[in-house]
Amino acid sequence: MKRILVINPGSTSTKLAVYEDLEPVWKQSVFHPAKELARFHHINEQYEYRRTYVFEALQKAGIPMAFDAIIARGGILKPTQGGVYRIDERMKHDLWHAPMEHASNLAALLADEFAKDMGCPAFIADPVVTDELRDVARLSGIPELPRLSIFHALNSRAVSRRYAASVNKRYEDLNLIVAHLGGGISVSAHQHGKVVDVNNALNGEGPFSPERAGTVPARQLVDLCFSGKYTQAEIRKLLNGRGGLVAYLGTTDVQTIVRWAHAGNAKHKLVLEAMVYTVAKQIGAMHVALHSQTDAIILTGGIANNAYVISLLREWIEGLARIVVIPGEDEMGALAMNALGVLNGELPLQEYL
């Protein structure tokens, strides 16, 4: 039996878990009040604060400081193939100097320090910048604007492996479409173990979502940028943070929107159906990216818990391939699964280059 520590810092929280093989034996999640975080001007300055929290949480819980491996959420690294990576000095350098600030950048740094103290290996797995795009998928039509691969790689690959196991097949032998339905929405085409195409779920591409605009009319966006109505920061916020459902309806709460739609509110119904429609179109595009040879379409993420949304989506995509619903997002379990796979020799351990 392997003991695995999982470390997953978010923008306002830190999640910890200890697994024995795939069985969680301890979990803890703490919310960091905005007042506490306000004293830090940059994410990197939170390192000692987060390290102290992890150490004290383990001590208070009486967790023996002995693990077979520590695995952390992947941060904003350079584009890289998916899989499990050993945390090394090159990776740590890139995380300290990441082009985008995010709490996930601290995860591998914390894992490496604790692993060195405990004499065990430290890993990350399937960071959001996982990039396995086909060459033809990278061209956007403007050479200065290549398409980028930023998506829910960890959960998308984890549910793919989970589905493959349920049908007694290898993930690497299947063609799958995974629609991760959350605050951001990514739809990825998995061809024999590689994500050959996916929408950039962070910076404005693909379906609109509860808080992101997705693909928008390019000429109209340019005109809006130069209209004088918005600053550059405000335009970026329209694309990620204040776009999608919240822009139309003032809320990102899909459950509330569904209740309004059921109550007969025409605007809520229309906007919700429009979001689902954009997801369905992206699934159709990924079906083409798999040469229309899709074994299954997996619907996952938090919104996949909503039966009404799933029923709307089914109306558009029924007939393309088998539809499988695996709701939620178990990042901690997915990380533990990847670490165990390496420890048992079932998954290769890769080096960050």
Top-tier CATH class for 155-327: alpha beta
Q: Cβ-count burial of 228 within 10 angstroms (0-12 exposed, 13-18 middle, 19+ buried)?
A: exposed
pLDDT value at residue 224: 97
Query: Could you tell me which of 188, 192, 216 has the C-alpha nearest to residue 201?
Result: 188
Judge whether 298 and 160 are in contact, CB under 8 Å. Answer: yes
Strands 69-73 and 84-86: unpaired
Per-residue pLDDT of the chain (353 residues; tens, 9 = 90+): 999 999 999 877 899 999 999 999 999 988 888 788 889 988 899 999 999 999 999 999 999 999 999 999 999 999 999 999 999 999 999 999 998 888 889 999 999 999 999 999 999 999 999 999 999 999 999 999 999 999 999 999 999 999 999 999 999 999 999 999 999 999 999 999 999 999 999 888 999 999 999 999 999 999 999 999 999 999 999 999 899 999 999 999 999 999 999 999 999 999 999 999 999 999 999 999 999 999 999 999 999 999 999 999 999 999 999 999 999 988 999 999 999 999 999 999 999 98
**pLDDT value of residue 12:** 78
Rounded to whole angstroms, the Cα distance separating 144 from 137 reads 15
Q: What was the pLDDT predicted at 41?
A: 86
Domain made up of 3-131+331-350: CATH architecture: 2-Layer Sandwich (3.30)
Q: Give the containing element (helix H, strand E) for 279.
A: helix 266-289
pLDDT given for residue 218 in this prediction = 96
Closest to 181 measured CA to CA, from 244, 105, 134: 244
Residue 66, φ and ψ in degrees, nearest 5 = -145, 120
The reported pTM is 0.91
Q: What's the pLDDT score for residue 102? A: 83
CATH 3.30.420.40 boundaries in the chain: 3-131+331-350, 155-327
Answer for the pair 33, 40: CB distance below 8 angstroms, yes or no: no
pLDDT in tens, 29-54: 888 887 888 899 888 999 999 999 99
Quote the CA–CA distance of 83 and 138 in Å, as a whole number: 21
DSSP one-letter code for 318: T
Identify the pLDDT of residue 203. 86
Q: Tell me if 291 sits within 8 A of 194, measured CB to CB.
A: no
How high is the pLDDT of residue 64?
Answer: 92
- Structure confidence by residue, pLDDT tens digits, 64-96: 999 999 999 999 999 999 999 999 999 999 999
